[in-house]
Chains A and B, each alone.
Chain A
């Protein structure tokens, strides 16, 4: 069984989207990157983010991640760490077991080079 299915599939992601995005918008370290973006489109994009981080079905490539974040000026490790932290806190809040959170963190971590365009 994949991590995505073990966590609860699409239903779990839907529950996580609101919790995660509320944390991001309240996080002074990163919220400016999301200011003024269309909330409705963001709901879908946050869902895409979580699906990817939780190993769900997606067709994103490393190249897509590079292109998708290239326009975010000054993006660095501290921002990436903040997102990782919010992801972990979201899954904890939704009572996802620790060993699954660790797996999700590892998948998200694997995108660091691409997201930060190195």
Chain B
């Protein structure tokens, strides 16, 4: 009989679903529909094969990371599972460079001590100490960049970002988790158009995703809108303009929402500018990162503009 391993304990599956098996033993796993529909009971397999049935209806990005629904998972072999949110491995990394990308955003480069697998656009947990942890998105791309890179915005009174601005320096040893999240580029639909909208350091994952898509020979349009209050809040402007010159299918619109927009910049809230440029998003893939209010509004508005729910990827930074 296949076993289910969870939280260091091993349980006989005895023909039951992973959810039934664990709850019968008094382990509490959130659930609702018990029929593979609501996705409340999502878990991730850290070892063992997941039956395809248990992944029905999950986004490709989640399937690729061995997520599954506990209520429809009848294990065919031993399986070790963690709750979707838990169970990320940790490792040491060395800070190799800290630089200002603008007055409020720090670029941080890290060299992991062990081989580090990730997809451009995912995030890591960054440990200030054992109990103080924050998520930061990866701006680097495997296969292009040797090191990991982060863009961290200074949050007033911020425990972790404040500490980074004050005292993080090259040579420091820190702890990070493995990469997680489903906001990344999946090859396979090279003709699909892609819209990316970000505010502030929300550019970090988008910068990775764009370069990953281009590296994969993406053929459809790749259209980036990056917004801040004023031009000083933007960064990587020259790099992105150069990238747009080198790739006919990539376009870059920096947006400012206060004062007047100088030449080469659009004026307005970044989401409004993006939707004005692309009123019909049927068939598009959409990436949204940064300010949580912007991201929430953008999820709804890009969906109403025609993007399919399964094609909208978002990381609200809060």
Q: Which residues of chain A have a CB within 8 Å of any CB of chain B?
A: 10, 14, 17-18, 21-22, 25-26, 36, 39-45, 47-48, 51, 57-60, 64, 68
Min CB–CB distance A17 → chain B (angstroms): 7
Secondary structure at the A interface, as helix, strand, loop or mixed, is helix
Give the 9 A-B residue pairs with the shortest CB-CB distance, closest first.
Answer: A48-B37, A44-B39, A43-B309, A39-B299, A59-B34, A58-B35, A59-B35, A48-B38, A18-B308
CB–CB B309/A17 < 8 A: yes
Other than A18-B309, A39-B314, give 5 A-B pairs with Cβ distance below 8 A.
Answer: A39-B312, A41-B38, A43-B310, A48-B37, A51-B37
**For residue B58, which residue of chain A has the nearest CB?**
A44
Q: Which residues of B contact A10 (CB under 8 A)?
A: 56-57
CB–CB A26/B39 < 8 A: no
In the bound assembly, the distance between CA atoms of A68 and B33 in angstroms comes to 11
In the bound assembly, the distance between CA atoms of A36 and B297 in angstroms comes to 8
Chain B stretch 47-88: residues in CB contact (< 8 A) with chain A: 56-57
Q: Which residues of A contact B37 (CB under 8 A)?
A: 44, 47-48, 51, 58
CB–CB A22/B57 < 8 A: no
CB contact under 8 A between A39 and B310, given known A48-B33, A48-B38: no
CB–CB B304/A22 < 8 A: yes
Min CB–CB distance A62 → chain B (angstroms): 14
B10-53: contact bitstring with A at CB < 8 Å (1 yes, 0 no)? Answer: 00000000000000000000001111011100000000000000
Min CB–CB distance B19 → chain A (angstroms): 11
Q: Which residues of chain B have a CB within 8 Å of any CB of chain A?
A: 32-35, 37-39, 56-57, 296, 299-300, 303-304, 308-310, 312, 314
Q: Which residues of B contact A17 (CB under 8 A)?
A: 309
25 contacts between A and B (CB under 8 A): A10-B56, A17-B309, A18-B303, A18-B308, A22-B303, A22-B304, A36-B296, A39-B299, A39-B300, A39-B314, A41-B38, A41-B39, A42-B309, A43-B310, A44-B57, A45-B38, A47-B37, A47-B57, A48-B38, A51-B35, A57-B35, A58-B35, A58-B37, A59-B35, A60-B35
CB–CB B35/A21 < 8 A: no
Q: Which residues of A contact B35 (CB under 8 A)?
A: 51, 57-60
**For residue A21, which residue of chain B has the nearest CB?**
B309
CB–CB A44/B38 < 8 A: yes
Q: Which residues of B contact A26 (CB under 8 A)?
A: 304
CB–CB B33/A59 < 8 A: yes
Min CB–CB distance A49 → chain B (angstroms): 9
Q: Which residues of A contact B308 (CB under 8 A)?
A: 18
Q: Which residues of A contact B303 (CB under 8 A)?
A: 18, 21-22, 25, 39
